[in-house]
Amino acid sequence: MTCTLLMRSSRRICIETIRRYLPASSKMIYSAAGRNLDTASAPQSHCGTKYSDRTLTSYRTYHQQSSVAVETRPQVWLITGCSSGFGRRLVTSALARGDRVIATARTVEDIKIPSSPNLNVLQLDVTAGFEVIKARLDQAAKIWGQIDVLVNNAGAGYLGMLEEGRSDLLEKQFKVNVMGTLDVTSAALPHLRASKSATVVILGSRSAYTTERAGLGFYSASKAAVHSLGETLSVELAPFAIKVLIVAPGAFKTEGIYRQSFFTANSIPAYDELRNIAMKRFSAVPGTQKGDPDKAMETVVDVVKGEGKAKGRPWPLYLALGDDADEGIRQKSTKLLRHVDEWGDVIKGVNFDP
């Protein structure tokens, strides 16, 4: 296959090489289980194309440089969901680094952040549909003439049994967490492409890996979906030097995280016992979280700017935050690897006979 080469900032990027070497979910799984995917199975070709050492070295060098470069000029952040939680703290952290922030929320009066010449607030409902969102983001880009960092933080969590909530509750959940994320990102991308150093941050969740919990299906499915979107975006946006960061936090002590009540409008008696157990488990969480949201968002800013804890490190596609996030990823990875180890002969025994 002939690789398509694009020119940006005097760098030639081979799309097929990007596909092969950008981090993917399989790398995360192997790393979490203590395996090195690059050394275990890193062929020097893809789709029938053999890459020269020079081509591979050039891409690795490009990716490493773009990962650790520290932006010296003030960056302009656009952050969704800034009325509370991670969003509000992220605004404060970015401002403290000397950057400019466009803080958005469905209701701007709910954004309780001290005024600053580097802060501008904007009303934005991520469920309003692409055309409405695009008009708002075009307006936002005119404030300082650019958008360098987009943070998809706005979200909601709906708890309920899958059969009881059905597709109605799933659609409601996805409209905020998935469609909202994609619409905001799509509307922002023309402005991000115009930036010399742009980043898309997606607030996912460790719940994408801890899905085997009654009552969590709608929320965890939405977070697994945005993780997948982020992985694909990391490949599609690489030719434009736009980096993607998928943040997977565990449980953090933020306001209103469990504001949505457990769905019981369509109760099925067969689930009464399991539903009650799930409801008690979720209601016991608030106030017990070990995660410090201020530290978490400081870490996100470190990574985006290549400072502090991230200084000198290569760009991570994923940023897991919290002991429970670490544990959840390791358990999921181990389970999947155990499956392919134990069932390997069956898994690989379904090809056509030679």
What is the Cα–Cα distance from 129 to 183, expressed in whole angstroms?
Answer: 7
Give the Cα separation of 84 and 106 in Å (integer): 12
Q: Could you give the CA distance from residue 354 to residue 351 in angstroms, rounded to a whole number?
A: 9
Q: 21, 62, 219, 271: which one is catalytic?
A: 219
Contact 172, 122 (CB under 8 A): no
Q: What does DSSP say about strands 76-79 and 149-152: parallel, antiparallel, or unpaired?
A: parallel
DSSP annotation of 162: H
Q: For residues 264-299, b (16+ Cβ closer than 10 Å) or e, as one string?
A: eeeeeeebeeebeebbeebeeeeeebebebeebbbb
Cα(115)–Cα(270) distance, integer angstroms: 53
Active site residue 219: yes
| DSSP-derived 3-state class of residue 187 | helix
**Distance between CA atoms of 239 and 221, rounded to whole angstroms?**
29
Active site residue 280: no
State the catalytic residue, choosing from 30, 158, 223, 305: 223
Query: With contact defined as beta carbons under 8 Å apart, do 18 and 235 qualify?
Result: yes
Query: Inter-axis angle of helices 293-305 and 85-96, to 10 degrees?
Result: 50
Tokens for 96? Answer: 């403290």
Q: Which amino acid is at 125?
A: D
Q: Determine the number of helices (DSSP H) and then strands (DSSP E) in the chain.
A: 13, 11
Q: Which amino acid is at 199?
A: T
Q: DSSP 3-state helix, strand, coil percentages of the chain (rounded to 5)?
A: 50, 15, 35
Q: Which long-range contacts (CB under 8 A, 24 or more apart) does 336-344 make?
A: 336/29, 337/29, 337/30, 337/33, 337/35
Task: State the catalytic residues.
Answer: 219, 223
